[in-house]
Amino acid sequence: MNLLNRNINSSLNFKSFMKKVILSAAALVCGTMIFAQSNVSDVNQNGNSNGSVVMQSGSGNDSDVVSTGDSNTSNVTQTGTIHNSTVEQRGESNSSTVTSIGRNNNSKVGQVDERNTSVVLQQGGNNNSSRVSQGQISSNGTVSRTGRDNTSDVSQDGNSNKSVVEQWDLNLLRGEFNSSTVSQLGDSNDSKVRQTGDNNTSGVAQEGDANISDVLQIGNQNGSTGSQVGNDNSTTVSQTGDDHASTVSQEGDSNVGKLIQRNGNDSSSELTQTGFGNHTNTIQDGDNHLSTITETGDRNGAGVSQYGSDNVSSTIQTGNNNGSLVAQSRMSNDSDVLQEGNFNNSNVRQNGGNDNSSDVDQDGDNNGSIVGQNGALNENIVSQVGNSGESEVSQQGDSNYSYVRQRKDNNKSLVSQTGTDNYSSVKQQNVGNNDSNVSQNGDDNTSLVSQEGGENVSAVVQDGMQNRNDIRQHGDRNSSDLSQVGDFNKSKSTTFGDDNTNVVAQLGASNEALQAQTGNENEASIMQGEITKLATDNEATQTQTGNLNKAFVVQASIYGTGTNNSLVSQTQIGDSNFVRSEQQGNNHVSTTTQDGNNNEARDLQKGSSETSTVTQNGNGNISDVVQNGWGHNSTVAQNGGQNESDVYQTGGQNTSDVSQMGDLNMSDVMQDGNSNMSTVGQNGLSNLSNVNQMGNMNTSTVSQN
């Protein structure tokens, strides 16, 4: 057969042939082999068990196969340049294979209804393009959409690859067992797969150059897998209903990924991007969401937003300009973000309600984290290890718990909890520019803050119910400011060294505050009561050991209600001590003990069962006690140094006992009315005493040696 340099048109028309011959179960097979330039082949088959084989070699190959009937099969092979192939089969048990090798490859397959299968293989390079649609045919061969046990396999090798596969139907309720696999190797890859109804599954793998892949599956058992290895990768997968699952993995260059699985059923999504311009966006709308994003290097970014039902999300970013944003709405929310190095940033919002939990872990460089949780069983843990850390947590309703632990560099933390079982613990450690701010509003509040070294500052405000707080600051520029407003308040502050300051203000209910500071520029202050005189079972203890100590306790009422079952005890041992205690209503007791250096103490108790005891041992002692009305009692004993004492008692069961032992003693006691008694004993040096008693059962004894 010598057909060179001639155009050949081979057309087998079985319609006219079947008028003359009756075929029963016999298979009709047509084969055409063409070797030339500008080859054209038309095959038109009508009937059952049709088979077609077309082989074209040369340039300008063109093949057109149309089979109508059952058990159709078509096989087209084109080698050379400028290939073009169209296969159209309608009926049952369709199958089609197209192989194009050479340049300007092009292929188009359309199969409608029943057991469709299509394989397209284009390789050897240049402008490949392929389109497989199993279902549809229109304009105007009619049958618009359908398809059945669809399967499609496209593989393209090099240069300007492009592939579109559409396997239909949904509105005619036929689409059936869709499956598609596309593999493109090099150059300007592009792939688009759309499967509309039934057991959808799709796999796309692209290797090099300008990869893009777009998969959309609309109904039933969707699944999708994509893998792109190098260059300008981009992936978009959108699956709408039923058992979604999708996995995308991109390795190098300008990765972008986007995944949307929408209004219902078993969503699951996983995306892994490894290097360069990574950023990704996942939205899953309804039912059993789960999302995992892992990005490893370069310009990372990520976003996950899951709306209603069993949300879970985990984001891991390892290096470079990381960022992450997760927003989850209602039902069993859970989020876990881990960022390791460079410009880390994370924002988790769990909106609305249900079993919220969030865990953010940031390792190094410019960390930041904001978590906001809204309602139900909230829990949050943020752990930042190094560099410019910063964390903000806000929890609003139900079983709140927050734990932030920051280690070194510019730590900062702000936690705000609003209602129900609040509990917060912030630890900032070992020399960073620590700063912490916790505010708790209502119900079972507890807050523990521990700052260990650096420019520590801490402020906690607790508002109502079973407040309790524990602040410990160990070294450097310590400062603490605590305010507990109402209900079962308790507070404990412990500071070891450097520029310590501590303030506690408790307004009402079962107040208690303890503060102990050990060294350097100590100052401590406790205020119980006020703002219209609240306070109740007060108790305050402050112990400071060395350096520029000062301590104040005020248990306040401007008479009337306030203060209540008061008790104050302050002990300062060395250096520039000064104490002031003030109690105004009900069962007061105040005890002050200062050991050495520039001691000074003041005491004021106003109405009811007062008692005051002051003991100062050495150096510039001074004491001043004023007691106002009813069961007074005061004892001052100063041991050595520039002693001086002044006690003033007015009406009630006054008693005063002052004993000063050595150095420049001086005492002044004045008692006004009722069961007065005073005893002053001063032992050595410049003693001087003055006692003035006015009414009722006065007694006075002064002995100076």
- DSSP string of 499-558, one letter each residue: S--EEEEE-SSS--EEEEE-SSS--EEEEE-BTTTB--S--EEEEE-SSS--EEEEE--S
Q: What pTM, to 2 d.p., does this model score? A: 0.79
Q: How far apart are CA 597 and CA 527, in angstroms?
A: 26
User: Does pLDDT of 435 surpass 90?
Assistant: no
Q: How many whole angstroms separate alpha carbon 26 and alpha carbon 298?
A: 64
Tokens of 366: 């410019």
Going by pLDDT thresholds of 50, 70 and 90, the confidence category of residue 596 is very high
Of 214, 180, 223, 174, whose CA–CA distance to 198 is shortest? 174
| Domain co-membership, 615 together with 568 | no
Rounded CA separation 574/493 (Å): 20
The chain-wide mean pLDDT, for the chain, equals 83
In this structure, of 300-314, 544-558, 590-604, 680-694, the range with the lowest mean pLDDT score is 544-558
Is 459 found in the same domain as 523? yes
Convert the pLDDT of each residue in 289-347 to its tens digit: 989 998 889 988 899 998 899 999 999 998 989 999 989 998 899 999 999 998 999 99
Residue 489 tokens, joined: 């308040």
The mean per-residue pLDDT over the stretch 376-400 comes to 91
199 domain-assigned = no
Does residue 94 sit in the same domain as residue 48?
yes
φ, ψ of residue 248 in degrees (nearest 5):
-125, 135
Q: Is 584 left (phi over 0), alpha (psi -120 to 50) or beta?
A: alpha
- Output 139 or 475, whichever has higher pLDDT: 475
Is 557 in contact with 536 (CB distance < 8 Å)?
A: no
What's the number of domains the chain is made of? Answer: 3
pLDDT score for 26: 30
Would you say 411 and 382 are in contact if contact means Cβ atoms under 8 Å apart? no
Q: Which residues pair with 119 in a beta bridge?
A: 97, 153
Beta bridge partners of 561: none
Cα separation, 466 vs 296, whole angstroms: 45
Proportion of the chain above pLDDT 90, given as a percent: 36
User: Over 70: is that where the pLDDT of 141 sits?
Assistant: no
Rounded CA-CA distance 100/154 in Å is 11
- Does 613 share its domain with 573? no
Q: Which two tokens stand for residue 48?
A: 């059952």
- Tell me how far apart the terminal alpha carbons of the chain are, to the nearest angstrom: 147
Cβ 222 vs Cβ 243: under 8 Å: yes
Token pair 């082999």 is at which residue?
Answer: 33
How far is it, in rounded angstroms, from Cα 391 to Cα 409? 13
Looking at the DSSP assignment, which residues form a beta bridge with residue 261? 239, 284
* DSSP summary character for residue 454: B
Q: Which residues pair with 270 in a beta bridge?
A: 247, 292
Whole-angstrom Cα distance, residue 367 to residue 362? 6
Domain-embedded: residue 535: yes
Distance CA 185, CA 178 (A): 23
Task: Write down the pLDDT at residue 695.
Answer: 93
540 SS3 class: strand
Specify the DSSP class assigned to residue 4: T
Give percent above pLDDT 70 in the chain: 87
Mean pLDDT of 52-71: 74
Supply the pLDDT for residue 147: 58
| Strand ranges, E, within 398-501 | 402-406, 413-417, 424-428, 436-440, 447-451, 458-462, 469-473, 480-484, 491-495
Beta strands 303-308 and 469-473 are unpaired
The rounded distance, in Å, linking the Cα atoms of 188 and 169 is 30
The whole-number pLDDT of residue 3 equals 30
The whole-number pLDDT of residue 691 equals 92
Looking at 586, 614, 637, which one is the last position of a domain? 586
Average pLDDT over residues 482-498: 91
Element (H, E) at 183: strand 180-184
Residue 104 sits in the same domain as residue 53:
yes
Whole-number Cα distances in Å, 315 to 326, 393, 419: 9, 18, 29
- In a domain? residue 558: yes
Torsion of CA 217, 223, 224, 225, to 10 degrees: -170
- Domain co-membership, 452 together with 580: yes
Claim to verify: residue 649 and residue 688 sit in the same structural domain: yes
Q: Which of 86-95, 196-205, 637-646 has the lowest mean pLDDT?
A: 86-95
* Tokens found for residue 430: 């070992």
Higher pLDDT: 1 or 106? It is 106
**The pLDDT value given to residue 5:** 30
- What's residue 512's pLDDT? 92
Q: Is residue 520 part of a domain?
A: yes
**Whether 514 and 543 share a structural domain:** yes
- Picking from 133, 155, 175, the residue at the C-terminal end of a domain is 133
The encoded tokens of residue 178 equal 């869709």
Residues 223, 268, 164, 135: is their CA dihedral positive or negative?
positive
Task: Quote the pLDDT of residue 187.
Answer: 83
Q: Residues 6 or more apart from 9 whose CB is under 8 A from it?
A: 40, 41, 42
Residues 6 or more apart in contact with residue 140 via CB below 8 angstroms: none
Q: Which of 6, 87, 9 is nearest to 53 (CA)?
A: 87
Query: Do 488 and 615 belong to one domain?
Result: no
Task: Let me know if residue 573 belongs to a domain.
Answer: yes
The lowest-confidence range among 146-150, 576-580, 638-642 is 146-150
What is the Cα Rg of the chain in Å? Answer: 43
Arithmetic mean of pLDDT, 182-190: 84
Is the Cα dihedral 606, 540, 507, 476 positive or negative?
A: positive
Range among 126-130, 192-196, 659-663 with highest mean pLDDT value? 659-663
In a domain, 331, yes or no: no
pLDDT digits (tens, 9 = 90+) for 13-60: 323 323 222 222 233 334 444 444 567 777 777 777 777 787 777 777
Residues 452, 532: one domain? Answer: yes
- Please check whether residue 340 lies inside any domain of the structure: no
In a domain, 501, yes or no: yes
121 plus 67 within the same structural domain: yes
Asked which of 113, 133, 153 is the last residue of a domain, the reply is: 133
**Dihedral angle over CA of 507, 509, 512, 513, nearest 10:** -20
The answer on 460 and 504 residing in a single domain is yes
Q: What is the pLDDT averaged over residues 567-584?
A: 92
- Structural domain span for residue 517: 445-586
Which position has the token pair 């470079």? Answer: 320
By three-state DSSP, how is residue 10 classified?
Answer: strand
**pLDDT of residue 417 exceeding 80:** yes
User: Who wins on pLDDT, 529 or 540?
Assistant: 540
Q: Are 456 and 432 in contact (CB under 8 A)?
A: no
